[in-house]
Structure 1
Amino acid sequence: GSGSRAGENRCVEAAEACTADSRCQGLRAEYVAQCLSWAALGDCPRARCRRALRRFFARAPPALTQALLFCPCASPACAERRRQTFVPACAYRGPGLAPPSCLEPLDTCERSRICRPRLLAFQASCAPVPRAPDGCPRDQGPRCLSAYAGLVGTVVTPNYVDNTSARVAPWCDCGASGNRHEECEAFRGLFTRNRCLDGAIRAFDSRWPPILQEHLEPQQGPKHSLMQVDGSPEGSSLLSVLPVLALQTLL
């Protein structure tokens, strides 16, 4: 039955919960259709695919979208399903066979009114603080995960890098970053060497299964989501903020 299957694979349970919710299922069907249409056309409509993903994470119940994105896994089968959640062949990977330098999506993000504020929000929401016992503010996890989800569908879309861990990274590396190598590593380190993000993803396990019931609660007034921000914070520069926050994650 569904219960035993979900017990073995919580990502199946998350998918079933989304399917049972008409709004979640409708928005998921929309991004799957957009992101898979390249299979017939021979070319990935990356912009349309990512736009549909942003709509999914902005408009579907957050409890359900986060359950799909962060469902805890104890097996490669579960982790592979989690890794494939948003059709990474189109939404995550770029047009080339090899990942580009991380400076490429970073520079594009800084010029984007959609991506830039989301990346700044992610940096701020997942940043460590010196005085916290483990370096991460208490109750930071949900805010950090929401900001991370806000990056899905942007040019710096992150994803799980394999099906044997919960490690995440954007589709890029720093092998060809030249004299901007330190800046490149600082950006990539926001994902690959961020103990607060790692801790938030691990802690999601403790919020399971109540997380799947949260979407049933009545809405409490207007919602302000980091994922729906389109403006750019005044006086903030990604290039100036990045090295500071990234280096903090290494401490």
Structure 2
Amino acid sequence: MNIWAVVVPKTRGSCLSEMKVCIQDSVCNAQLSGLFKSCSEPGCDGVRCQRAARRFYDGLPLGVAEMLVFCACEPDDPQCLSVRADIQSPACPERPEGTRTRTCLEARDDCVKDPLCRKQYGTFQSKCLRSESIFCHAGESCFGPVDLDLILGSDFECRRAFFGTMGTVLHQPCTCDGLNSDDRHACLFFRSIFHDKSPFVHGQNKGNESHEAAHVESRVLGLPWFGYQVVFLLVCILIMVTLITGIMVVLHKLG
């Protein structure tokens, strides 16, 4: 099976099943092996692990990236949750002793300090935030407590920009514990984007609903686009025949 031709499913697949699909493909398997090797070997280097994650997702077609980035797990399935963490938030399994988990706001700030991450983050903001939701000034992080519905989660360019952030500190494990009310609100908003992926999952579902609605509308109307052209032509012919017949009847009566 060649997963490069896979069409993104309408529902989120299990991360275990999506991982199996990747493993069964020689190209995806080779890239996946490189990712796991860099992020699990003894003396794992966090920077090297992040670079391996970027190479992994940079080498995937958009449809395959969606399959892996948006896969789902049941909350009580530890094996699936472990696989999801390995492919969506790859990180070295061991951290230096005494290192605490950074908050998601600290992860955002660390990203802004890194030139490559800041560039990917800026692209994400420019492609994903509706103009009315951008209330920051140049050079600021541009993420405060805003409505998730203002993020263009179903837009193609936005989703592609989101995949561009994979392998950066934005997707590393982070927490919102211990923050005050305002900071916690902003932290949870940030986490819902880069870890829960709520706007994109919601946008994917909305896109599927729109597709289904269009399909239903097409069936209700009964004919594809070229069918309407045929019907229109037949109606025109019928009108012309009726007119000609009427004119002939009038001329016959006059004649």
TM range (shorter): 0.5 to 0.7
Superposed, 1:1-251 pairs within 5 Å as 10-37=14-41, 41=42, 43-74=43-74, 76-77=76-77, 78-86=80-88, 88-90=90-92, 95=96, 96-102=98-104, 104-128=106-130, 135-136=149-150, 140-158=154-172, 171-173=174-176, 175=178, 186=186, 189-192=189-192, 197-204=197-204
Q: Which residue of 2 aligns with 1:242?
A: none
Mark the structure with the bigger radius of gyration: 2
Gaps in structure 2 of 5+ consecutive residues: 1-10, 134-147, 209-255
Quickly say closer, same or farther: Cα 1:118–1:85, change in 2 above 3 A: same
Same amino acid, percent of matched pairs:
25
Retained in 1: the 8 A contact 2:69–2:87? yes
* Residue 127 of structure 1: how far off its partner (Å): 2.4
Q: Which residue of 2 aligns with 1:239?
A: none
Cα distance in 2, alignment partners of residues 139 and 103 from structure 1: 21
Secondary structure (helix, strand or coil) at the match of 1:152 reads: coil
Retained in 1: the 8 A contact 2:153–2:201? no
Cα distance in 1, alignment partners of residues 182 and 153 from structure 2: 31
Retained in 2: the 8 A contact 1:144–1:197? no
TM-score calculated relative to the size of structure 2: 0.54
Retained in 1: the 8 A contact 2:152–2:203? no
Cα distance in 2, alignment partners of residues 103 and 199 from structure 1: 18
RMSD over equivalenced CA pairs, Å? 4.0
* Residue 46 of structure 1: how far off its partner (Å): 0.8
Secondary structure (helix, strand or coil) at the match of 2:34 reads: helix
For 2:86, the aligned partner's letter is: Q
* Residue 150 of structure 1: how far off its partner (Å): 2.2
Secondary structure (helix, strand or coil) at the match of 1:153 reads: coil
TM-score calculated relative to the size of structure 1: 0.55
Cα distance in 1, alignment partners of residues 111 and 15 from structure 2: 30
Select the structure with the greater relative contact order (CA < 8 A; seq sep ≥ 6): 1
Cα distance in 2, alignment partners of residues 103 and 207 from structure 1: 30
Gaps in structure 1 of 5+ consecutive residues: 1-6, 159-169, 209-251
Cα distance in 2, alignment partners of residues 107 and 94 from structure 1: 20
Deviation sequence 1:5-39 (CA, Å, 0-9, x none): xx9963233122222333222111101011010xx
